[in-house]
Structure 1
Amino acid sequence: MKKTIVAVDPCDYEIRGLYRFASLKPTCTLPEEVAGVWPENPRLLMIAADPDDDTFIENLGMDFCSALTKADIPVGELRILQRETENVAKPLVEGADVIVLADGNDTKRQAFFEAIDLPALLQNAKEDAVLIALDEQALATAGC
């Protein structure tokens, strides 16, 4: 990995009617931390903490990408690693330019990371990939 970053609870949300809009919190240092290492239009892979909660992880991925884009940190493509995509975990991790470890259920996350052998997968990630954990426990569970 080129850089590993912990960005705990990085997003603020604004609710307007039925819509929710995400942006990075003013206190979030992610823009400064990725300066100089962020790939051009990266393929971002969001890895679920609860692999069976499709709605949560897909919304989290889209919200995070939207917040990054608003902060002038471009995202070219979003992919999600969850239960229904675990059979292609290896190519998803190997093809990602940015890997984001979701926050959430520690017990389910540990079981999922073990089931896909995430520590081994991360060893085969791109050398210049950026790893972002949305909580400290995600890094520990991923073996980082």
Structure 2
Amino acid sequence: MKVFLTSSIGGSYKENGKRIPCALDDSNNFLELLKKYWPKNPKCLILSSDPENQEVNDSFKFIFDEAFKISNLPLSKIDICDSRNENKLADTIYDYNLIFLAGGHVPTQNEFFNRIHLKELLKSYDGIVIGISAGTMNCADMVYAQPELDGEAIDPNYKRYLNGLDLTTISVFPHFQDAKDLTVDGLRVVEDISLEDSKIRPFYALVDGSYIFVDDNKSTLYGEAYYFNNGAFTKVCDKDKSIQL
């Protein structure tokens, strides 16, 4: 299995409130590496982050079908797995050689993945997995589900650590370029939430365009990223550079 853990891979932009397909982000030679492992006439399955939101799921499917074509990564088939067909996943997942884990709300997606027994199904999967944002976060053995919605940061029952898909031991905090200016429930996302949580378990913060490639238990980080551990963070890689983790 080849696993791409990304913060964002581009593929669309907004114009007059409408999302328009475009080429994938090729920062840090992402497309070059992806094309190296791209199957012939791949069949792609998108795993939703919100199985009940069929309108958004269908839009996501359309956007990325077009984005892959624009990026010269054609697909022979693209489907989405959500509440409409989740009961068929165990019988169909191995028909696909490319699995796409969508972005969204981490706990919602995590609950869906548990419901469809995705962790167990992926143990016998031998294709490419691409995670985006929440999809990347849920790939870890132990997921850092950072609070992002109003009420989550101050809710004593909100679980910040969840069992994930166990495709990597690396926990990821995406969209770091935006998080530095965000607050949740009056708390600063980086200073008051992330740094405190890193005292419990370390994680890597990725800016959009950076990614981690996992192949045969070897993990390589590409692009700008930061390591959070024990209440502090340090820059560990720059754009257009790479390091072994």
Distance of 1:74 and 1:138 partners within structure 2: 26
* TM-aligned CA distance change 1:56 to 1:18, over 3 Å: closer
TM-score w.r.t. the length of structure 1 is 0.86
Distance of 1:87 and 1:41 partners within structure 2: 26
1:5 alignment partner, SS class: strand
Report the structure number with the largest CA radius of gyration. Answer: 2
Q: Following superposition of structure 1 onto structure 2, how do residues 1-144 of structure 1 map, counting pairs within 5 Å?
A: 1=1, 3-11=2-10, 12-13=12-13, 15=15, 20-27=20-27, 29-125=29-125, 127=126, 129-135=127-133, 136-140=136-140, 141-144=164-167
**Contact (CA 8 Å) 1:46, 1:81: kept in 2 or not?**
yes
- Structural RMSD (CA): 2.0
Deviation at 1:57, TM superposition (A): 1.7
Structure 2 unaligned segments of length 5 or more: list them. 141-163, 168-245
Deviation at 1:52, TM superposition (A): 0.7
**Contact (CA 8 Å) 2:25, 2:31: kept in 1 or not?**
no
* Segments ≥4 residues shifted beyond 4 Å: 16-19
Identity of aligned residues (%): 22
Deviations 1:83-124 (A, max 9, x none): 111111113321111000111111111111110111111112
The answer to which structure has the higher strand fraction is: 2
Greater relative contact order (CA < 8 Å, ≥ 6 in sequence): 1
The answer to which structure has the higher helix fraction is: 1
Deviation at 1:16, TM superposition (A): 7.3
Deviations 1:62-86 (A, max 9, x none): 2112111111111110111101111
**Contact (CA 8 Å) 1:49, 1:109: kept in 2 or not?**
yes
